[in-house]
Amino acid sequence: MSIARIRKGDVVIVTRGNDVGRTGTVKSVNPKDGTAVVEGLNKRKKAVRRTERTPQGGFVDIEAPIRLSKLMPFDADAKKGSRVATVVKDGKKVRQLKASGKTMSEGKKDS
């Protein structure tokens, strides 16, 4: 089980690995495996067979999952990765960045 410090739509920074220091937006999170797919990071080449759908075939760049332990939420004000605290504001639990004290945007729940 993984903690909910990183969610879909968050901007994160990579702390370890080949993409260290790069930022991106989380496309999907798999808490069971402890991984996330981040837009533009952890690129891999995948061989695609020629089909009606892809008549060209060849190699395609895909974004592979990256471990959640290698990601930190990015604080734009502090310009670095930040730890996350869960605090209660107006009767709701919200995620707050420890570096700047700002609350993280929860995204659009209605769509």
- pLDDT of 105 reads 67
User: Residue 11 and residue 39: Cα distance in Å, rounded?
Assistant: 10
- pLDDT of 3 reads 60
Q: Is residue 93 part of a domain?
A: yes
User: Residue 97 and residue 80: Cα distance in Å, rounded?
Assistant: 11
Residue 30's closest CA among 79, 67, 76?
67
The count of domains in the chain is 1
- pLDDT of 44 reads 94
- pLDDT of 108 reads 38
Q: Is residue 4 part of a domain?
A: no
pTM of the prediction? 0.79
List all residues 6 or more positions away from 103 whose beta carbon is below 8 Å from its beta carbon. 87, 89, 94, 95, 96, 97
Residue 47's closest CA among 35, 56, 38?
56
Q: Which domain holds residue 90?
A: 11-97
Q: Is residue 102 part of a domain?
A: no
Q: Is residue 87 part of a domain?
A: yes
pLDDT per residue rounded down to tens, the chain (111 residues): 456 789 999 999 999 999 899 999 999 999 999 999 999 999 999 999 999 988 898 999 999 999 999 999 998 888 888 898 888 988 888 888 888 888 886 543 433
Domain CATH code at residue 46 = 2.30.30.30
Q: Is residue 29 part of a domain?
A: yes
